[in-house]
Amino acid sequence: MSAPTFLEPWQLRAAFARSLSDMYGKEVPAYTTLLDVSHDVNADFVTQHGADAERLGSIARVTAERHGAIRVGTPTEMAQVARIFGAMGMRPVGFYDLRDASSSSVPVISTAFRPIERDELARNPFRVFTSMLVTADRRFFTADLEQRLESFLGARALFGPDLLALADRAEAEGGLPEDQAAEFLLLATEAFELSREPVDQAWYRELEAVSAVAADIGGIASTHINHLTPRVLDIDDLYARMEARGITMIDAIQGPPRWEGPDVLLRQTSFRALAEPRTFRTADGEIISDSLRVRFGEVEARGIALTRTGRAAYDAAVIEIDEAAAAARAADPGFTEAQRQQLARAVWQKTFPTTEAALADQGLGWFTYELAAEPGGAPFVRREPVVYEDFLPRSAAGIFQSNLTSDGAKDASQEGTDRDADWMAGALGRELNDPFDLYADQVARSLAGAAETLGVDPATLTTPNRTTGAPR
């Protein structure tokens, strides 16, 4: 197949995901190991489970699927990121406040850029979790540090004018001709490479004492992708295989426990950032070699998206598990991660049903309604799970924390600065999509489509146990 002469947003997105993955693989060898192991896990899972393995995404989609994470400093930088990803058909979805979700010092709020239409997700679901500093938050930054940080951030340019101009053109014109597309992809990939510039040692260390995340964002004049995450169909298998290869993973898989019922939301795990050589400029102007741990590896398994009711049940279950684990740990200091998982499974068993049908009937999970027909038979409606396309604040905080070089310092006696989804939309200069609305819309459209073809009322399709058009 010859290369297209005009690249549409989804083609730019797919090409960018590949380009970033190639760059990351060259620079972070453990990432390549993770990709190899992920491929093996997915191939074995498909062999064992046949067509069922693809219930939550075709193997082609899952194999290409990645999410990345970046961190920026200011609303201006956030709005520029929105333009670059906008060129690739990626829209901001969801608001995450990690300041309170973390016990250590993580002074950021976040959103995720991703495709929002179903066919766009099927073409390439690349997403980027994007965080920005809240420099005004006095629990982390004094007025003096805020002011110096703001002037440092105000003086830097993460993205050059050529990259931004190409991004704007792509968004306005629905893509780019191939030569401009190549330039855009090159500049965009470069913008997320690790800088080789010497790091101002005193400045970096001052910020690091407050928060390793603040130093990573505001201690240097560029940004970088800090992980790129492949998707696997069996994360417990992946975890075991990575450990068998001698790569130390974090203690736990974040998110729901492994259990006998349907997988929901997102399960993630990671390996710790490796020390990478970097040069520093000392206070007397000397250049020295040292290292920083800022790029790590993560892998994830995606499950069924939950409705607001389902999500509330999830959030309550997480709190219940935490409290029970804390009590068990207080009673027995030898309480293990395996015991915590056992406890989590017990909470899960009383919170969630063990079948997809019950998850749908109890209004806990999202399902679309697809027309199908057996050869020669009448058409019927089949219920299909909607895959969760977003992130979890609690897991994200866990991912941040597992990679901090120190806990930093947080002055809990100070008042936090209010930030919410509206504030984020203002910073982005764009509409911020609500993930629940997107799932609801996808379901409503599938229902309307199926009902129209069958010539029935959509409400009859969601009622369980009907003979005509009954979901299976």
Question: Choosing among Ni ion, ligand OOG, none, which partner's interface includes residue 395 (Cβ < 5 to 8 Å by kind)?
Answer: ligand OOG
206 burial class (0-12, 13-18, 19+ CB within 10 angstroms)? middle
Both tokens assigned to 365: 């999970």
Nearest in space to 6 (alpha carbons), one of 146, 180, 163, 183: 180
Options 395, 433, 446, 462; binder of ligand OOG; rule CB under 6 A:
395
Nearest in space to 138 (alpha carbons), one of 364, 415, 392, 371: 415
Alpha-carbon dihedral sign for residues 168, 174, 180, 182: positive
Question: Choosing among ligand OOG, Ni ion, none, which partner's interface includes residue 111 (Cβ < 5 to 8 Å by kind)?
Answer: none
* Count of residues interacting with ligand OOG (CB under 6 A): 12
Options 273, 318, 399, 447; binder of ligand OOG; rule CB under 6 A:
399
Residue with tokens 């068990």: 328
Residues 199-238 that bind Ni ion (CB under 5 A): 229
What x/- string results for residues 414 through 453 when contact with ligand OOG is judged by CB under 6 A?
A: ----------------------------------------
Options 263, 298, 361, 384; binder of Ni ion; rule CB under 5 A:
298
d(CA 114, CA 439): 13
Please give the full DSSP string across 316-351, using - where no structure is assigned. HHHHHHHHHHHHHHHH-TT--HHHHHHHHHHHHHHH
The residue (of 77 and 298) whose beta carbon lies closer to ligand OOG is 298
User: Residues 6 or more apart from 207 whose CB is under 8 A from it?
Assistant: 145, 149, 214, 215, 218, 219
Residues 257-296 that bind ligand OOG (CB under 6 A): 268
23 burial class (0-12, 13-18, 19+ CB within 10 angstroms)? middle
CB of 262 to ligand OOG, least distance (A): 21
CB of 360 to ligand OOG, least distance (A): 26
Using CB under 5 A as the binding rule, whether residue 97 contacts Ni ion is answered as no
* DSSP type of residue 200: E
CB of 308 to ligand OOG, least distance (A): 20
CB of 430 to ligand OOG, least distance (A): 20
Using CB under 5 A as the binding rule, whether residue 390 contacts Ni ion is answered as no
Residues 29-88 that bind ligand OOG (CB under 6 A): 69, 71
Residue with smallest beta-carbon separation from ligand OOG: 396
Contact window for ligand OOG (CB under 6 A) among 49-57, 234-242, 304-312, 389-397:
389-397
Amino acid found at 105: S
Both tokens assigned to 229: 């995450």
d(CA 446, CA 219): 48
Options 10, 184, 367, 391; binder of ligand OOG; rule CB under 6 A:
391
Binding footprint of ligand OOG on the chain (CB under 6 A): 69, 71, 129, 131, 226, 268, 298, 391, 395-396, 399-400
Binding footprint of Ni ion on the chain (CB under 5 A): 69, 229, 298
